[in-house]
Structure 1
Amino acid sequence: MIQKELKNGSLSKKKGVNAYILTINSYEGLLLVTSLINGNMRTPKIYALYNLIDWLNLKFEEINIPKKYLNNSQLDSNAWLSGFIEADGHFSVRTTTTPKYSRVECKFELSQRQNDHNSRSNLNFLEIIAHYLLSSVKAVRVNRPNPEYRVRTTSLNGNLVLENYLSTFPLFGSKYLDFKDWIKVLDYF
């Protein structure tokens, strides 16, 4: 869908996983993607964009692309979070049945490594997401080589915020079906 919309790039299947890579090499394609995402980034990946902008400005004298700042708009003002959920979100329903105590939980979870490959922290933007979902960021897998941060909805109200958001900015991939099943269970609450 992205390749069709951009009218640029080539697709290749990533080995060993159910994923594809969209590669854009043309001058026009690079300028298009740069103009579309410049000013809309919320994560440390903005520094990779800045490197691309520096390269484009140096390589092609006729252009002078400004480096726009991180997007600090409210999360519910655009579909950025929806795309992030599509990539890394997880909807779950858990049941516990014991003779004394039975329980059903509806949760949403998003995990990211604590630091990216350039040692930049992912904590700031995850705290913004957690705050929006009425939750908090928790350090997990701290004894492993790549510790992570996790945001998990822990309340009905947080789940309802997410339901409302994804009703406004729907998912488009396979997670859409996960979300629809999750909503069926959430509606019982």
Structure 2
Amino acid sequence: MINKTNKNQNLISLLGINKFLFIIAILYLFYILEGDVLDNFGLSSIIPLTFYINDGKLNPWFVTGFSDAECSFIIRIRKNLKYKTDWSIELRFQIGLHKKDKLLLEKLQSYFGVGLIKIQTKDSLQFIVQSIKDLEIIINHFDKYPLITQKSSDYLLFRQAFQLVKNKKHLDKEGIQNLVAIKAVFNKGLPDYLKAAFPEILPYDRPLVYNIIIQDPYWVSGFVSGDGCFNIRFVKNSKSESVNLSFLVTQHDRDAKLLNSLVEYFQCGRYRVRSSRLLHSDYVVTKFDDIKCKIVPFFDKYPLQGEKYLDFLDFKKIMLLKGNSYVSLTKEMLAEIKQIKSGMNKGRK
């Protein structure tokens, strides 16, 4: 007779499942069904959900979407008399996040297989890639999985600068002038010291972004992991208190076309110009049925990463507590929702 315990252990071993992660996954199932099992076991404070739910290699389109939201391309030109041209060049790709998202930065580092993670401030970290050899891996990624926000203009300029440096053109006067001409239309343009040093430089033409097409759902989950927000708002009147849920993606007005494309992509929500924040606008979904039937199922299928994933799980728990758009909430339900909300977004410790 085969021992059932041994049989189950052999099955776990056969499937290549780490026993510890298997146990945690079972606890997570109870957490979803019952809500408080991890707390009862005293595990919620020591085991981040992303550790065992979103572990593994990132989807390449997720990486591009997240980069569209969070990355920076840097061109630095500094006076340096050690060089024949009197100028040194530094190219850098970087993503800065709160230290709570260190795991996500480590996943990005693992995906690219290059770069360093450095402390930026006491509360933030940066993933940095800056050697020409390593930057070629970054360039190859974005050529294959292109950015679609206006950040893609910066990328195309950065790629031109990269090619100049790779081909050693930065070591002569003409190459430096070309790099200054690129930087003149890059991000914030030239600092005063470069304007003074190169007064007659003719800026490059800045590439225009027209083809704003979301090619893969994982681009969306990456972008929302960076720039999305799951918001809970309480509304009181003389008789009762209600809970409103909303999903937002905020961008500079230059990416208004992208925000409008999200309306078409999700077949819900609307584009909204912000009156409280100059030159910024939102893609926003406020209808409860759209959140319940379109937004939440989408991110169940194409998961977010990092702290935003935890906000999504809490948002979903509140949605399930609310049930539907017309049910009156009891005082106990409201208290539970307020407790969950207090730990979301900036309230998460």
Give the alignment's TM-score, normalised by structure 2: 0.45
Answer whether contact 2:269 2:283 (CA < 8 A) is retained: yes
**Which among 2, 25, 31 is matched to residue 130 of structure 2?**
25
Unaligned runs of 5+ in 1: 62-66, 115-120
Task: Select which of 109, 113, 117 maps to 1:11.
Answer: 117
**Cα drift, residue 44 of structure 1:** 0.4
CA 1:71–1:41: 2 relative to 1, 3 Å: farther
State the Cα distance separating 1:183 from its structure 2 match: 0.7
Matches within 5 A, 1:40-189: 40-61=146-167, 70=211, 72-74=213-215, 77-114=216-253, 121-133=254-266, 134-141=268-275, 146-159=278-291, 160-187=293-320, 188-189=323-324
Q: Secondary structure at the match of 2:246?
A: strand
SS where residue 23 of structure 1 aligns? strand
Q: Tell me the CA shift for residue 149 of structure 1.
A: 0.3
Post-superposition offset of 1:43: 0.1
Q: CA deviation at 1:153?
A: 0.7
User: How much has 1:155 moved relative to structure 2?
Assistant: 1.2
Contact residue 46 and residue 70 of structure 1 kept, 8 A? no
Q: Deviations over 1:32-71 (max 9, x none)?
A: 111112242110000111012212333335xxxxx99846
C-alpha distance in 1 between matches for 2:147 and 2:131? 22
Q: What one-letter code is carried by the residue in structure 1 that aligns with 2:115? A: G
* CA shift for structure 1 position 27: 2.0
Identity percentage of aligned residues: 20
Q: 1:34 and 2:168 equivalent?
A: no
C-alpha RMSD of matched pairs (Å):
2.6
Q: Residue by residue, what CA displacement relative to the aligned partner does 1:3-41 show, whole Å, maximum 9, x if unpaired?
A: 12222112223336x432211112232111111122421
Higher helix share: 2
Kindly provide the amino acid, as one letter, of the partner of residue 147 in structure 2.
M
Q: Say if 2:146 and 2:152, in contact at 8 Å, map to a contact too.
A: no
SS in 2 for 1:5: helix
User: How far apart, in 2, do the equivalents of 1:14 and 1:122 lie?
Assistant: 28
Q: Which range is displaced more, 159-168 or 40-49?
A: 159-168
The answer on whether the counterparts of 2:212 and 2:257 sit within 8 Å (CA) in structure 1 is no
Q: Within 1, Cα distance between the matches of 2:142 and 2:301?
A: 21
Aligned length: 174
Report which of the two structures shows the higher radius of gyration computed on alpha carbons.
2
d(CA) in 1 for partners of 2:290, 2:119? 36
Whole-angstrom distance in 2 between the partners of 1:33 and 1:15: 25
- Amino acid corresponding to residue 155 of structure 1 in structure 2: K
Q: CA deviation at 1:156?
A: 2.6
Q: TM-score, normalised by structure 1?
A: 0.79
8 Å CA contact 2:132–2:166 kept in 1: the answer is no
Residue 122 of structure 1: SS of its match in structure 2? helix
Distance 1:13 1:174 in 2: 18
Q: Mind listing any 5+ residue stretches in structure 2 that lack a counterpart?
A: 1-106, 168-206, 325-349
